[in-house]
Amino acid sequence: MSTSTDTDILVVGAGPAGLYAAYCAGFRGLRVTVMDVLPQAGGQISAMYPEKPIFDIAGLPSVRGRDLVANLVAQADAHGVRYLLGRRATELSYDADGRPVVRGDGGTVVRAGAVVITGGVGTFTPRPLPAGEDFLGRGQVYFVPDPAAHSGHDVVVVGGGDSAFDWAALLAPVARSVRLVHRTARFRAHHASVARVRELGVEVHTDAEVSGLYGTGLLEEVEIRHRVTKEARRLSAQTVVAALGFVADLGPLQGWGLELAARRIAVDTRMATNLPRVFAAGDITDYPGKVRLISVGFGEAATAVNNAATVIDPEAALFPGHSTETEH
């Protein structure tokens, strides 16, 4: 369905940085529209680890992913944000007044005073499990948005990174059994995550690979093979979680003419890109000294929006004022 929207600021990306950017724009009284290819707000958090506790948000010793997203949405929605979800931003052009015009899926057209790109890592595609693609949707999954869906299952988690150990720890309390399989004895996951999984009694198989998935209709067994001895064994499994990482790219944004650095968008201290009226914030950006944390993305989003506001209205002040000074 075609949609035509006129807005002050278009935020491309509905992850944490994008949602906070929407709040910052709304706080200034600007009309704000958020576009994202995913069908729900929250970006990677909603898609990949909604139940995972996050520990590096200032003022929150621990917050569950989905709760952080819900709070960010509530914060932004207080200022009347418009969402265009399930729409990929595909093309950028400029109108006769020099305002950005962004076109997206389904005939979506957004005319904006400025654009703030907060697309995280861009489009991310999970790395496939070579032996298991036939069982995708029949027992093989890449993400675990709802651990309860695997209650009582025998679960095999494949991978050695943070996501693999997070899924294993998350599923251990609800699954009948959880086993983790990794191709080497060295893990990319943080040592604290590894220790926690072992404390939970998860059976860890190292120097092993998944060599086959079996079942009539739904998944019933997973075959693993030792990489050195070649010994194979079958494990009962109704769920296998392929946590082998993902391939990220900027997708259509690469055709916008943006200056890139390390496959990310180069920005200056204002979070401005090389394109007029186009800013960026969050993990999708790169500059010397860049630190990729959600908390850093929040600050970049505020910087991007407030600098964009002065481009939209040269008479506007850069500093928006303190929220404590407003009446509620």
| 97 marked as binding residue | no
- Supply 50's token pair: 């909604």
pLDDT of residue 262: 81
The partner residues of 233 in beta bridges, in order of sequence, read: 224
In the chain, the amino acid numbered 255 is G
User: Does residue 260 share a domain with residue 180?
Assistant: no
Statement to judge: residues 52 and 72 lie in one domain:
yes
Residue 303 makes CB contacts below 8 A (sequence gap 6+) with 269, 270, 271, 281
Same domain, 132 and 188: yes
The mean pLDDT of 56-64, rounded to a whole number, is: 92
Give the residue with greater pLDDT, 206 vs 245: 206
Single out the residue in 244, 268, 302 at which a domain terminates. 244
Q: Binning pLDDT at 50, 70 and 90, where does residue 122 land?
A: low
Report helix, strand or coil for 84. Answer: strand
76 is in an annotated binding site: no
Do 172 and 197 meet the contact criterion of CB atoms below 8 Å apart? Answer: yes
Single-letter residue type at 314: P
Average pLDDT over residues 290-300: 95
Higher pLDDT, 48 or 312: 312
Please compute the mean of the pLDDT values over residues 256-269 and round it to a whole number: 93
Confidence tier at 197 by pLDDT (50, 70, 90) = very high
Residues 27 and 82 in one domain: yes
Write the CB contacts of 123 (distance below 8 Å, at least 6 apart in sequence): 37, 248, 249, 250, 251
Kindly report the backbone phi and psi dihedral angles of residue 234, in degrees, each rounded to the nearest multiple of 5, phi listed first. Answer: -110, 140
- Structure tokens belonging to residue 163: 């996501």
Annotated ligand binding at 49? The verdict is yes
* pLDDT at site 52: 79
Mean pLDDT over residues 172-182, rounded?
A: 97
Domain count for the chain: 2
Regarding predicted confidence, which is higher, 2 or 3? 3
44 is in an annotated binding site: yes
Residue where a domain terminates, one of 218, 244, 270: 244
State residue 43's pLDDT score: 86
- Provide mean pLDDT across the span 15-27: 97
Distance CA 304, CA 312 (A): 12
Amino acid identity of residue 170, one-letter, is L
Domain that holds residue 202: 128-244
75 is an annotated ligand-binding site residue: no
Spatial contact of 22 and 49, defined as CB atoms under 8 Å apart = no
Total Cβ atoms within 10 A of residue 189? 22
What is the structure's pLDDT at 200? Answer: 96
Same domain for 111 and 158, yes or no, is no
d(C-alpha 212, C-alpha 39), whole Å: 32
Sheet of 232-236, strands arranged across: 208-214, 221-226, 232-236
Q: What's 162's domain CATH number? A: 3.50.50.60
94-118: per-residue pLDDT in tens? 999 999 999 998 899 999 999 999 9
> In angstroms, rounded to a whole number, what is the distance separating the alpha carbons of residues 94 and 82?
21
**pLDDT number for residue 251:** 82
Which residue carries 């860049």 as its tokens? 290
**52 or 151, higher pLDDT:** 151
248 known member of a binding site: no
Q: What is the distance in angstroms between the CA of the first residue and the CA of the last residue of the chain?
A: 37
What are 128-174's pLDDT values in tens digits?
898 878 898 899 998 887 889 999 999 999 999 888 998 999 999 99
Residues 152 and 49 placed together within one structural domain of the fold: no
| pLDDT-derived band at 1, boundaries 50, 70, 90 | low
Q: Are residues 43 and 141 in the same domain?
A: no
Q: Please say which residue of 206, 227, 244 terminates a domain.
A: 244
What DSSP line would sit under 37-69, residue for residue? SSSSTTHHHHHH-TTSEE--BTTBS-EEHHHHH
Of 200 and 261, the structure prediction assigns the larger pLDDT to 200
Q: Based on the fold, state whether residues 114 and 251 are members of the same structural domain.
A: yes
Known binding residue 254? Answer is: no
70 and 23 inside one domain: yes
- Structure token pair of residue 257: 């003419």
The verdict on 224 and 289 lying in the same domain is: no
pLDDT given at position 105 = 85
Residues 111 and 74 in one domain: yes
Query: Is 222 in the same domain as 83?
Result: no
